[in-house]
Amino acid sequence: MRKTFALGRTLVIGDIHSGKRALEQALGRVKLQPQDHLIFLGDYVDAWSHAAETIDFLIRLGGHQKCTFIRGNHDDLCLNYLTKAEAPENWLLHGGQQTKDSYDAQPNAIVEQHISFLQSLADYHFDAVNSRLFLHAGYTNLRGVEHEYFTKTFYWDRTLWELAQVAEDSSASDLPPRLKNYSEIFIGHTPVSKKEMTPPKRAANVWNIDTGAAFKGAVSILDVHTKQFWQSDAVESLYPGEPGRNLAP
């Protein structure tokens, strides 16, 4: 008799920003199963005090769970600090100081392991079966990610989310050309809200899973098939006495 295996869920996780406690809480609420595929959209560091601890948790999680780790702009800035000692003021003001403090307290062996992890991050993940694209920020080429000229766009662009919101508010019946390349696109990078708890937001065929974990929001996890979602408590409540990025200019 042929054995049948249950298919796991595909769960997409938005920006974490060093909120390890919030990530653990959200994953606990998901009731994670061994067959689930976790797709992390990046920005693992910068905001709360658990930068190195968050990366260590992700490395260990990837050792026993199917995970796809995508690069965020804050992860790239962290890598620049760890490999080239680059610490621009704008990074330090937007959560980098907490990351710097976290890593300055780590032994060299941990730092080297985390450098390898950060260097291994993917620019994007494409589910060809369902034509679903996952990336941190966006892309600008009208033909899609494979034709993008500047790879940093994948983790710095904000125009894709702006375009999706305009398309959602438009009376036009057809999607803009840039959005037609994929059935659905899942991003983070631009917080849905910095001031309050809010669910993931859809605009046109783009889902934004950044629910403001660096500020006054939560870490969010979305089932890409059913669109059910789970969230942590407000991350600031799990790090009492810390500002996160709420004091950033």
pLDDT in tens, 23-40: 999 999 999 999 999 999
Q: What's the alpha-carbon Rg for the chain, to the nearest Å? A: 18
pLDDT band with cut points at 50, 70 and 90 for residue 249 = confident
Q: Check residue 1 and give its pLDDT.
A: 47
- Across the chain, what does the average pLDDT equal? 96
The predicted-structure confidence for 212-223, as pLDDT tens digits, reads as follows 999 999 999 999
Predicted confidence at residue 7, as pLDDT, reads: 82
Residue 177 pLDDT more than 90? yes
pLDDT at 6: 62
Predicted structure pTM score? 0.96
pLDDT at 2 over 90: no
pLDDT tens for 117-170 read 999 999 999 999 999 999 999 999 999 999 999 999 999 999 999 999 999 998
Residue 39, token pair as written in the block: 């797709």
Q: Convert the pLDDT of each residue in 90-105 to its tens digit.
A: 999 999 999 999 999 9
Return the residue matching tokens 């990351």: 99
Architecture of domain 10-238: 4-Layer Sandwich (3.60)
Rounded Cα gap, residues 9 and 191, in angstroms: 25
Alpha carbon distance 15, 215 (integer Å): 11
Q: Are 38 and 230 in contact (CB under 8 A)?
A: no
Per the structure block, which two tokens stand in for 91? 């990074």
Q: Which of 110, 134, 116, 168 is nearest to 10 (CA)?
A: 134
Helix residue ranges, H only, the chain = 20-30, 51-62, 73-84, 89-91, 97-104, 108-119, 153-156, 159-169, 235-238
Other C-beta atoms closer than 10 Å to the C-beta of 63 total 8
Cβ count within 10 A of residue 149: 8
What is the domain partition of the chain in residue ranges?
10-238
Our CA angle for 221, 100, 52, nearest 5°, is: 45
Cβ(10)–Cβ(223) below 8 Å:
yes
**Res 3 pLDDT > 70:** no
What tokens does 207 get?
């889902």
Strand-pair partners of 206 = 185, 203
Token pair, residue 13, equals 């996780």
